[in-house]
């Protein structure tokens, strides 16, 4: 499977979802796209066929505002129909809401209030160990999200319980809702902080599917401690006029911007 191409194709689905709903969080969708694409298509043992098997892997999208990227990946994996989601996304009464809804197939946990995914994953990973299950547990967090204190309580507990079946990914795009993460709540070296909490740390290029594949394979080999992958990404990745712009955290493209973005993403998909 050509994962690089797939990530661009899924970005086109994101664009359709946001155009239809006239709402969404496009910047963080685009930065997380390779992370989700690699996880769902190369790394995790999760599919519509095994979604109720306790031995499956578990995934939580802790940066729940990046829901359009999550819908795109889940639909391509066969959990939902993209045309149905596009037609009903964000409509009154629809289950396809702007943040993860665990009433929908493939979604384990409601999220959107930042800072809860990692602590919940600690509980899931601990339970898997207690039951001697082979499952691995994955969580994707934003870098702005790391300002939530609950993340660090979870980080402490994960190393206390030697949760080597837990892998956290930080979408390190250096922006949050209102500007640079370094201005809002500076982080120095995120990896050093996790290491101080007893984690194995892998820093890698987060919009590069090959680099991510390697990082996840490395994480799986580490015993006795949880791993965090600090994925260095670009917010808005793939659409040049959206890249590294805080304003595109949740701006909705105009029709003209939509056409421009679509053209660029199509060209990039075709070039892969």
Ligand X SMILES: Cc1ncc(C[n+]2csc(CCOP(=O)(O)OP(=O)(O)O)c2C)c(N)n1
Q: Provide the binding-site residues for Mg ion, judged by CB under 5 A.
A: 142-144, 173, 175-176
Nearer to ligand X, 100 or 135 (CB): 100
Taking the complex as a whole, how short is the minimal distance between the CB of residue 153 and ligand X, in angstroms?
Answer: 14
Q: What's the distance, CA 234 to chain centroid?
A: 13
Task: Give which of 162, 164, 156, 237 is closest to 194, Cα–Cα.
Answer: 156
- 130 token code pair: 């207690």
Sheet containing strand 227-232, edge to edge, reads 58-61, 137-142, 166-172, 227-232, 200-205
- 113 token code pair: 């209030």
Among 24, 98, 142, 226, contact with ligand X (rule: CB under 6 A): 142
Taking the complex as a whole, how short is the minimal distance between the CB of residue 120 and ligand X, in angstroms?
Answer: 14
Taking the complex as a whole, how short is the minimal distance between the CB of residue 79 and Mg ion, in angstroms?
Answer: 26
Among 108, 143, 208, 232, contact with ligand X (rule: CB under 6 A): 143
Taking the complex as a whole, how short is the minimal distance between the CB of residue 244 and Mg ion, in angstroms?
Answer: 11
Residues 202-241 that bind ligand X (CB under 6 A): 235
Nearer to ligand X, 63 or 268 (CB): 63
Nearer to Mg ion, 100 or 106 (CB): 100
Among 145, 164, 208, 232, contact with ligand X (rule: CB under 6 A): 145
Q: Per CB under 6 A, does 23 bind ligand X?
A: no
**Residue 65 near which of ligand X, Mg ion, none (CB within 5-8 Å, type-dependent):** ligand X
Q: Which residues contact 254 (CB under 8 A, 6 or more apart)?
A: none
Taking the complex as a whole, how short is the minimal distance between the CB of residue 41 and ligand X, in angstroms?
Answer: 21
Taking the complex as a whole, how short is the minimal distance between the CB of residue 251 and ligand X, in angstroms?
Answer: 12
Please tell me whether residue 139 adopts helix, strand or coil conformation: strand
Taking the complex as a whole, how short is the minimal distance between the CB of residue 54 and ligand X, in angstroms?
Answer: 30
Whats the size of the chain, residue-wise?
A: 272
Among 67, 80, 85, 175, contact with ligand X (rule: CB under 6 A): 175
Please tell me whether residue 232 adopts helix, strand or coil conformation: strand
CA–CA separation, 36 and 176 (whole Å): 19
CA–CA separation, 156 and 159 (whole Å): 6
CA–CA separation, 62 and 79 (whole Å): 19
CB 11 within 8 A of CB 238: yes
**Residue 198 near which of ligand X, Mg ion, none (CB within 5-8 Å, type-dependent):** none
Give first-to-last CA distance, the chain, whole Å.
Answer: 12
Residues 53-72 that bind ligand X (CB under 6 A): 63, 65
Write the DSSP symbol of residue 176.
Answer: -
Q: Per CB under 6 A, does 176 bind ligand X?
A: yes
Binding region for ligand X (CB under 6 A): 25, 27-28, 31, 63, 65, 112-115, 142-145, 148, 171, 173, 175-177, 235, 249
């Amino acid at each position: 499977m050509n994962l690089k191409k797939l990530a661009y194709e899924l970005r086109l689905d994101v664009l359709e979802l946001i155009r239809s709903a006239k709402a969404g969080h496009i910047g963080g969708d685009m930065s997380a796209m390779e992370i989700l694409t690699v996880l769902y298509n190369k790394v995790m043992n999760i599919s519509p066929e095994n979604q109720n098997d306790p031995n499956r892997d578990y995934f939580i999208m802790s940066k729940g505002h990046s829901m359009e990227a999550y819908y795109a990946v889940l639909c391509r994996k066969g959990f939902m129909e993209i045309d149905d989601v596009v037609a009903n996304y964000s409509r009154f009464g629809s289950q396809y809401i702007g943040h993860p809804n665990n009433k929908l197939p493939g979604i384990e946990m409601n999220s959107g209030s930042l800072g809860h995914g990692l602590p919940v994953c600690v509980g899931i990973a601990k339970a898997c160990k207690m039951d001697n299950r082979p499952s691995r547990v994955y969580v994707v967090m934003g870098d702005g999200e790391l300002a939530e204190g609950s993340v660090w309580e979870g980080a402490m507990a994960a190393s206390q319980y030697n949760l080597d079946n837990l892998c956290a990914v930080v979408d390190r795009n250096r922006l949050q809702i209102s500007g640079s993460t370094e201005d809002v709540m500076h982080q120095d070296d995120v990896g050093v902080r996790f290491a101080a909490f007893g984690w194995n740390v892998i820093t890698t290029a987060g919009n590069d599917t090959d680099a991510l594949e390697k990082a996840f394979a490395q994480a799986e080999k580490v015993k006795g401690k949880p791993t965090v992958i600090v994925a260095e990404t670009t917010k808005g990745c793939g659409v040049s006029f959206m890249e590294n712009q805080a304003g595109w955290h949740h701006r909705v493209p105009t029709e003209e911007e939509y056409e421009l973005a679509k053209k660029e993403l199509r060209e990039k998909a075709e070039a892969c």
